[in-house]
C-alpha cells in the first residue's frame, strides 16, 4: 500500500507541532519528517528528534549535492527536508508528514501534486501572540525581536491558505486534533480503500467540512482578525498593547 504525503504549514506558534504529536499518539503508520535547520536548538529540543541542527556551510553543501526535496530560508535560517525521509517512508509504506513553511510547500506541490496539504490557522493574532510568548517562557528564552518577527510574518503566511486542500483553525486543541485525525483517515479511505473502523460516516463528514472549498464561513472571522479580509484592502493586525491580556483556551 502506498503511503500518503501530508504537508502541514502554519504561522509559527499556531500549534502545528502540538497537533502532529497528538495525531501520532492516536494514529499509527504516520512518520514525521525530521527537517534540517541552521537555527539554534530551542529549550529542550534535541538533535535528531525535533530537527537535525547543522551550520550554513554543511547545509549549503547538502543543497549543492541535491540532498533536499525542498529547502527555504525562514526567519533568517535555512530549513530543508531531506530526500532520505521520503525514501524511507516509501520503503516502509508509511504515510509521511512534512511540517514545512509556505515556500517549501509550494516546491513540494510542484513535483508531487498528489500530496495532501493542510494549513493550520490560529483563531486570531492575540491568541497567536499569547502562544508564542508562552512557548518562549516555557523554553526559558523570551526574545522579543524574534517574537515580533514571527508575529509580523503570520498574516503573509495566512494569505497563502487558498493553496492548501484542507484548513484547520486550531482554537480548541481536542477539536483540531480530531479534525486532523479525520483528514488522515479520510484520505487513507479515499486513496487506499483503507476501512475506517469507527464512526466512518462522521469521520468523512468532519474531514469534508475542513476542505478549503467548504471553509469560507468558518474562516471569515479569522481572516478578518488578521486584516486579510479588510474591506479597505489594507493589512491591519489587531494586536493591542498589553501582552498578558489574552486567555488562551486550555490544552
Residue 249 found at the interface with ligand ADP (CB under 6 A): yes
Q: What is the CA radius of gyration of the chain?
A: 18
Which window, 23-31, 128-136, 221-229, 236-244, contacts ligand ADP (CB under 6 A)?
128-136
Which of ligand ADP, ligand 5GP, none does residue 248 bind to, with CB < 5 to 8 Å depending on kind? ligand ADP
- Residue 203 and residue 182 in contact, taking contact as beta carbons nearer than 8 Å: yes
Report CA torsion sign: 120, 195, 192, 95. Answer: positive
Contact pattern for ligand 5GP over residues 157 through 186, marking x by CB under 6 A: ------------------------------
Number of residues that bind ligand ADP (CB under 6 A): 17
Residue 32 found at the interface with ligand 5GP (CB under 6 A): no
Which of ligand ADP, ligand 5GP, none does residue 80 bind to, with CB < 5 to 8 Å depending on kind? ligand 5GP
- Answer for which of 6, 7, 12, 169 binds ligand ADP (CB under 6 A) is 12
* Residues whose CB is less than 8 angstroms from the CB of residue 109 and which lie 6 or more positions away in sequence, other chains included: 7, 115, 117, 163
- Answer for which of 6, 32, 79, 161 binds ligand 5GP (CB under 6 A) is 79
Question: Residue number with the shortest CB distance to ligand ADP?
Answer: 15
Whose Cβ is closer to ligand ADP: residue 71's or residue 150's? 150
Which of ligand ADP, ligand 5GP, none does residue 14 bind to, with CB < 5 to 8 Å depending on kind? ligand ADP
Which window, 23-31, 56-64, 76-84, 208-216, contacts ligand 5GP (CB under 6 A)?
76-84
Residue 204 found at the interface with ligand ADP (CB under 6 A): no
Which window, 96-104, 172-180, 184-192, 240-248, contacts ligand 5GP (CB under 6 A)?
96-104
Residues at the site binding ligand ADP, with contacts judged by CB under 6 A: 10, 12-18, 131, 134-135, 170, 173, 176, 248-249, 251
Amino acid at each position: 500500500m502506498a503511503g500518503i504525503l501530508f504537508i502541514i504549514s502554519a504561522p509559527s506558534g499556531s500549534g502545528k507541532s502540538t497537533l502532529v504529536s497528538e495525531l501520532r499518539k492516536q494514529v499509527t503508520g504516520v512518520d514525521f519528517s525530521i527537517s534540517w535547520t541552521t537555527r539554534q536548538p530551542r529549550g529542550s529540543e534535541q538533535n535528531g528528534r525535533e530537527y537535525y541542527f547543522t551550520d550554513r556551510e554543511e547545509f549549503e553543501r547538502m543543497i549543492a549535492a541535491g540532498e533536499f526535496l525542498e529547502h527555504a530560508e525562514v526567519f533568517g535560517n535555512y530549513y530543508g527536508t531531506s530526500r532520505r525521509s521520503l525514501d524511507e517512508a516509501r520503503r516502509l509504506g508509511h504515510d509521511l508528514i512534512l511540517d514545512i513553511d509556505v515556500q517549501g510547500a509550494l516546491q513540494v506541490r510542484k513535483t508531487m501534486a498528489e500530496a495532501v496539504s493542510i494549513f493550520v490557522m490560529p483563531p486570531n493574532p492575540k491568541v497567536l501572540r499569547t502562544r508564542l510568548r508562552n512557548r518562549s517562557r516555557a523554553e526559558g528564552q523570551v526574545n522579543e525581536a524574534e517574537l515580533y518577527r514571527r508575529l509580523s510574518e503570520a498574516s503573509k503566511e495566512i494569505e497563502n491558505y487558498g493553496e492548501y486542500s484542507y484548513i484547520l483553525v486550531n482554537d480548541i486543541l481536542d477539536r483540531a486534533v480530531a479534525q486532523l485525525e479525520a483528514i488522515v483517515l479520510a484520505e487513507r479511505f479515499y486513496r487506499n480503500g483503507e476501512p475506517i473502523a469507527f464512526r466512518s460516516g462522521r469521520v468523512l463528514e468532519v474531514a469534508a467540512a475542513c476542505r478549503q472549498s467548504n471553509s469560507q464561513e468558518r474562516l471569515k472571522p479569522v481572516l478578518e482578525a488578521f486584516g486579510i479580509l479588510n474591506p479597505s484592502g489594507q493589512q491591519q493586525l489587531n494586536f493591542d498593547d498589553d501582552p498578558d491580556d489574552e486567555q488562551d483556551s486550555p490544552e
